[in-house]
Structure 1
């Protein structure tokens, strides 16, 4: 019998819920090689946008809004529900008509959904209350923020060490070598999980999980 407290119990043990501990297999990949994981349905704060994240004000506004609401939910959850949690890392879904733009780094062609994980006891009502209570400086992206459940299923992931622009070689190997060799193809948006704070971490020391949902390549049945 397992007597250890379960992280998925949602804080009933008195410990802070930390998604990185509750789902170690999803948030602690190896940097050595790609691994296939099964990602269950997970709930996130989400905001959509488009364009270069390095220069677009829209992206900066979205990230600011996400962190503001995520911290408000943390304090509200602890105060009103008696359930404390660690604020989850920033994540992003990235998409484009041509996946090659992620390799060429044509950031103007990128569309994105920025995310922050929320445990299941965080409801749309709580999110709405947290947004309504935000009386600080104007946050232009708050009206676009939503609570969304995402189910990626089978995915391939790896830990990338280094700058975001240095991801190119890893993504090229994933797209053109590893996935074809294993009979897999794309089945969803490119997903990144930012384990480091880019404002306080040297580019060469950044830790980013690169994840790609996948499905088996369909093979046409031979004609009889």
Structure 2
């Protein structure tokens, strides 16, 4: 049985140079998603959201193998981040952040398959955020992205380069939420070696 892996199918979107920003065209993707607010390091809401997403993602995987004869590698955790005041990102005022945490889903995962997976999880586990998991379709289009290596808290200089130099120097402006793709498992990887793609949808100014 072939195993679909979004990181291989869309290699240019799940890899990036670490020195310079590059422009990519991001097509429509579907995600299991949960919305929330607050500091991801301390918020129970965030931890509950991530738990719910992984529980659903793995249940969808096993359901697809069992009922459709199709298999896939569970995609990496991703996050959309936003704040009423954009400077909250550069200042790392995490309590002011709103987020949508996501795990990509293959395009053959229908709403019915997705809802059945949520119901199956609910029968086995008591997960506080399970009722907030939804299927999200997102089309970001033209995006600037770069690979950040290191602690999440050390992203500020790179984001400052994006906001203050790369975008204005290239006649671009924001066109969607700040997007992060977590290529490393933070539970097993030292902070200095974490790999995260930082992505920003853009448009001509």
TM-score by length of 2: 0.98
1:155 corresponds in structure 2 to 143
- Residues 156-171 of structure 1 correspond to what in structure 2 (within 5 A)? 156-171=144-159
- Displacement of 1:109 in angstroms is 0.5
Q: Secondary structure at the match of 2:124?
A: coil
Deviations 1:125-177 (A, max 9, x none): 11111111113331011111110100000000000000000000000000001
Equivalent residue, structure 1, for 2:179: 191
Task: Count residues in correspondence.
Answer: 204
User: 1:127 is matched with which residue?
Assistant: 114
Out of 114, 126, 131, the position equivalent to 1:138 is: 126
Aligned partner of residue 85 in structure 2, secondary structure: coil
Structure with greater strand percent: 2
The SS at the match of 2:7 is helix
User: TM-score w.r.t. structure 1 length?
Assistant: 0.90
Aligned-residue RMSD, C-alpha? 0.7
Distance in 2 (alpha carbons) for counterparts of 1:77 and 1:111: 32
Partner residue, 2:30: 43
Aligned to 2:10: 23
Identify unmatched segments of 5+ residues in structure 2.
none
The higher relative CO (CA closer than 8 Å, separation ≥ 6) is in 2
Q: CA deviation at 1:79?
A: 1.0
